[in-house]
Structure formats: structure tokens, C-alpha cells
Amino acid sequence: MLTFLGFAMVITFMYLIMTKRLSALIALILVPILFAVFGGFAPKIGPMMLEGITKLAPTGVMLMFAILYFALMIDSGLFDPAVRKILKLVKGDPLKIAVGTAVLALVVSLDGDGATTYMICVAAMLPLYSRIGMSPRIMAGLIILAGGVMNMTPWGGPTARAASALHVDPSDIFVPMIPAMLAGCVAILAIAWFYGLRERARLGELHLQGDEIDHSEISVSQFPDARRPKLIWFNGALTLLLMVTLIAGLLPLPVLFMVAFSIAMIVNYPCLQQQKDRVAAHAGSVLAVVGLIFAAGIFTGILSGTGMVDAMSKSLLAVIPPALGPYLAVITALVSMPFTFFMSNDAFYYGVLPVLAEAASHYGITAAEMARASIVGQPVHLLSPLVPSTYLLVALAGIEFGDHQRFTLKWAVLVCLCIMVAALLLGTFPLYSSL
């Protein structure tokens, strides 16, 4: 009965959000409550939901302040010098333009917001592509590949979803994955180099009229009044210190981002009204993500509290050949590509991953290892027709969605495989696990 209820609940949830009958936020709250009542768990629903929300509270806090922190850094102009330097260096060389596109996208996508990344990168690079005669498909492909890798940061979304679904600390997922993510970045730069050389052979290196343009006023900040160019060294040092302490694990992630955000806010915007304006400017992004995390607490709390996830994992174990059980981590990494392409991240991380993780635990594979494996497919996920921001990218670049998919999909799979191989070589998650 519990197995049937569990799979029915997951399938109902996935159907409702994939057919857009309900938003993920509402479905995460209402669907598990209805199935718990139907299963006779009505008297215990309250404690189950509270327990789930309590477990996810640190993740919600971390996401809220991480999004606000990086939004603050972009508003203040921290990344402007890097962007200006890239634009100044690329000039009329197709090779430099391609590599510069990849580097720019990797830097800008640090804030985890795909739409913002696309708007900034296309606005900066499309005029160069047009003047040189390079294909905008190359630009769009490199930008979305970079976004896919940087989407694996804890404030990007998938890592937070995996952490909340499996009740794992986001830093336990993200920090060990950093070397594998760097391997993905190297793969993207290699792809950019390949296309840059090909375009250079086709077009040659051109000296464009206007190469001497002054780039000093170019900024990725969307709020000119919020720029703080005089504080760029302070903001850079603060961000570097934040990254070092994050990797070293000196404090929990929520605390680190709360402290860093507070320091950045009071130094950059000492006026109370300015502080209110900065928070208000990004409240929509914060609410959308954090609300989803707390709603997921109800879903996972009921899934665990009723015993549905245990029953589902036992039924899954019964159909998985024993020989494949020890390979569940690498299997999860591989299936994360098609699964997150054909279904939303919410459906995969809240519906499928908990069952896979529970089954893998019987073979000695930890929840953190399964969570790391589950985020490998993100570069492919962003090419899904279910991702709204991708439509923005192709619209800005002036290309067809189908052309973008055909051009980029093979490279996205390659980047995912590079990340997976690096993770396996470094022991981030196991190829084979035996008790």
C-alpha cells in the first residue's frame, strides 16, 4: 500500500508540474498532504511537515543570503573590470572572441541566475559576433554550457534541491564537486578554442574600426546608482575570503553568507533606504527559490514520515539486478542527463532522487555521494524545452530553439561526461561500492 501511494504521489506531482496544471510550489505542498490523508496519516501530518521544514531551514537561509550576496556584488560592479578586460582583449580575433565568451559567461553566471547571465553576455558579445560574421549559435552554445556548470553552485538551484531532497548539507555536495566543475570549465574553454580556431580559419583576424573604443563605462550592473567602483578591492577581498572559508568549512554555509551579506551591505550601502532598495530589487528572485525549498520540506517530510520512501526503495531494489546495485551512483550521474532534460529539476530531485538514494544506501553509497552524482547532468538540463530562460537566450541571440539544441547538445553531453569522469577519478562519488 505504501509503495503504491508513494509512486502514485510522485507520478501525480510530476504530471501536475510538467503539464503546468500547478506550479511546483503549490504541488509540493498540496499533493503530499492529499496522499497522506488518503493513506490514513491525517493525525501525524503536522509533525511530519514541521520536521521536514525544520531540516530544510538552513538550506533556505543559505540560498536567500547567497542570492542576495552575489546580486549585491553584481550591483556594486565587482565583476565589471573582468568584463571590460575581456571585451578589450577579444577585439577582432574570432579565437579570442570565442574564449572570451566562455570566460565572460563563467564569471557572470556566478550569481546563479540564468536570465541575468544571458542578458548581460548576449548584450556584450552579440555586436562583436555580428561585426566579425561569427555564428551566434557558437555564442549561445558557450553561454549556456557555462551556465550549466555554474548552475551546480549551492545557490544555483539543483544542488539546493538535491540537498533538500536528501537532507544533506549543501556544502557537503558542492565543495567536493569543485574540482569536477573545474574540469567542466576546462572542457568548455577547449570547445571555445576549437570553434575559435575554426572561425579564425574561415574569417581571418580582423582589425575592426572602433577597436580603440573606451570600455571604462561598460558595466554588468543593471542599477547605475548602485555601483561602487571605489569599493571594488574591498568587495573582491570579501568575496575571496568568503570562498576560502566556504571551501575550508570554517562555518556553516548559512552563517557564512549571512555574515558576508551583512558586511557587504553595510559597507557598500550604509544608508538604510539604500539597503531597503537593494533587498527589494532582488526580493522576487529570493522568494521564488526559498519558497520552493520550504515547500519541499513538506513533500520530503511526508514522503519520509509515512514510510513511503522506504517502501519505494525496497520495491526498486527488487527490480534492480544485484549486479548493478553497487553502480547506482554512476548510473544516477548518467540518467541525470536524460531525466533532467525530459522532466523538470523539481520532478527529478524531489520525485526520483530520494528513491534512488534510499536504494543506493543499501549498497553503502551515501546520500551526499548520490546528491553529487545527481547534479552532473545540469549542462544538458538547460537545453530542455522545459527551461523558460533558454527561450530568452535564443530570442536574444536571434536563433531558432531547435538549431540551438542541435548545435549544443553534443557538447553539453561531453561536458557532463568530463565532469563525471573527473568526479570518479577524484573519488567524489564511487564507480563501484560494496558493503
Classify residue 246: in a domain, yes or no. Answer: yes
Average pLDDT on 179-192 reads 95
**Is the pLDDT at 8 greater than 90, yes or no?**
no
Query: Which cell is 388 given?
Result: 523558460
pLDDT score for 113: 65
pLDDT score for 414: 96
Classify residue 217: in a domain, yes or no. Answer: no
Classify residue 104: in a domain, yes or no. Answer: yes
Residue entry with cell 583576424: 205
pLDDT score for 266: 94
Query: Which cell is 25 given?
Result: 510550489
Classify residue 220: in a domain, yes or no. Answer: no
Average pLDDT on 84-102 reads 80
Separation CA 62–CA 57 (nearest Å): 9
Classify residue 432: in a domain, yes or no. Answer: no
pLDDT score for 375: 93
Classify residue 346: in a domain, yes or no. Answer: yes
pLDDT digits (tens, 9 = 90+) for 188-226: 999 999 999 998 888 776 655 444 555 555 565 667 788
CA distances from 381 to 13, 53, 204, 365 (A): 19, 27, 34, 24
**Is the pLDDT at 315 greater than 80, yes or no?**
no
pLDDT digits (tens, 9 = 90+) for 41-60: 888 888 989 988 888 788 78
Average pLDDT on 336-356 reads 81
Domain count along the chain: 1
Separation CA 431–CA 105 (nearest Å): 31
**Is the pLDDT at 376 greater than 90, yes or no?**
yes
Q: Report the range of poorest mean pLDDT among 109-118, 207-216, 264-273, 341-350.
A: 207-216
pLDDT score for 300: 79
**Is the pLDDT at 114 greater than 80, yes or no?**
no
Output the DSSP codes for 86-120: HHHHHTT-HHHHHHHHHHHHHHHGGG--HHHHHHH
Q: Report the range of poorest mean pLDDT among 10-14, 88-92, 322-326.
A: 88-92
Task: Give residue 157's region: left, alpha or beta (phi > 0; psi -120 to 50).
Answer: left
Which residue has better confidence, 37 or 389? Answer: 37
Output the DSSP codes for 241-268: HHHHHHHHTSS-HHHHHHHHHHHHHHHH
pLDDT score for 416: 95
Classify residue 209: in a domain, yes or no. Answer: no
pLDDT digits (tens, 9 = 90+) for 387-433: 767 777 887 788 888 888 889 989 999 999 999 999 999 999 988 87
User: Could you tell me the residue range of the domain that residue 186 belongs to?
Assistant: 2-204+226-426
Classify residue 134: in a domain, yes or no. Answer: yes
Q: What is the pTM of this model?
A: 0.73
